[in-house]
Structure 1
Amino acid sequence: MEWGTLVATLGGGLIALAGTVMADRLRTRQEHRRGLQARRRDVYREFIAAAGAAHTELRCLAQNGPPASALFRASRAAYGRAAESPADREDAAGPFGPVYCMAGDEYQR
């Protein structure tokens, strides 16, 4: 029996196995990175939507909100509503649904 053929076959098998393991490892890393990027993007979107909702409500408060004695409580409530998910907000018309406050309108919450 020739040992050279057996050693070459085993060496080729080890090289193929190492290549497969490396390719699988790289693919797993890339999928993990993609998942992290998607989650990060979702968090950014939620933050931007909440910041926009809070900004809109605070503008409404500033323009024609409650009297000064209730302003602190109303502004804290506006931040609390903005922290809710867009689906839970009663005034959300989608994730970036604005609430318009016209001059002279009464602030109602």
Structure 2
Amino acid sequence: DRHLDEYLANIAVQGTPDDMLEAARYFQTLPQQEDRAILLYHKAGLTSKAIDLAFRHERYSALAQIADSVGKNADPTQVTRMADYFMQLKQFDKAVDLLAAIDRVDEAADLAIRNEIPLTEE
């Protein structure tokens, strides 16, 4: 039932990482519920799994949300994959932020300069 799924998603987001993972696995089995699974995997700390699932199911808005919160602990391969995707879309600001987040500062700076993206200390 749709209302129960919505309730479960809301409860899981507030729960422990294990709760989030269990709910994410459940939502991953349901049609049209990939966005919930992606969000829960990401919030539970499995960002690489969330990114992979987002690419597999072409959930690019979910990728944009993940991109906004990627940190130094993220898998550099997956973050590079996201940066490449945003470069293809000419969303160079997101690509610059992603590259900088994984300490590819020279590459991020070069991309920013070539595409007239303002650089900050962050």
Output the TM-score relative to the length of structure 1.
Answer: 0.20
Structure with greater Cα Rg? 1
TM-score (norm 2): 0.18
